[in-house]
Amino acid sequence: MFNKVIFAGNLTRDPELRYSAQGTPICNFGLAVNSRAGQEGKDEVLFIDIVVFGKQAEPCSQYLSKGRPALVEGRLRERRWEQNGQQRSKFEVLAQTVRFLGSGGGKRQSESAPAQGADAYPPPPDDAIDEPF
């Protein structure tokens, strides 16, 4: 099976950084991706939850902020849990690579971001992640 997604968009909220019980950094943020759809060419917005693990999580938390553009490559995962007796689920992207794009509208635009790319670390296997988030 093949599971890979690539999205470019703007952050919808400031990144949230936390650490797993094993000390692994985990960063969560939302991404809004615009696309043209239909014959009228109307804009559609897709809101995506992004999860970044390991060494990329801390720079994402430090250098990204609401409004900043970013490109995210990763894999799609469905997360399931129970809340108030009801089964719930949502899709999110487990990021393998996060690239910081432009200066965007974020509050940290004067800081320079470290290079991201080929030396990025992959996320840990699903069974190594503390759930629920």
Tens of pLDDT along 38-70? 677 788 899 999 999 999 999 999 999 999 999
**Predicted pLDDT at 41:** 74
82 contacts: CB under 8 Å, gap ≥ 6: 88
**pLDDT score recorded for residue 40:** 76
Distance CA 36, CA 10 (A): 16
pLDDT of residue 120: 43
Name the CA dihedral angle for 102, 17, 52, 73, rounded to a multiple of 10 degrees.
-20
Q: Residue 132, preceding bond cis, omega within 30 degrees? A: yes
Decide if 60 contacts 110 (C-beta within 8 A): no
Categorise residue 11: left if φ over 0, alpha if ψ from -120 to 50, beta otherwise.
Answer: beta
Q: For residue 91, what are the β-bridge partners?
A: 78
**Domains of the chain as residue ranges with CATH:** 5-104 (2.40.50.140)
Instruction: List the chain residues with pLDDT less than 70.
Output: 38, 103-133
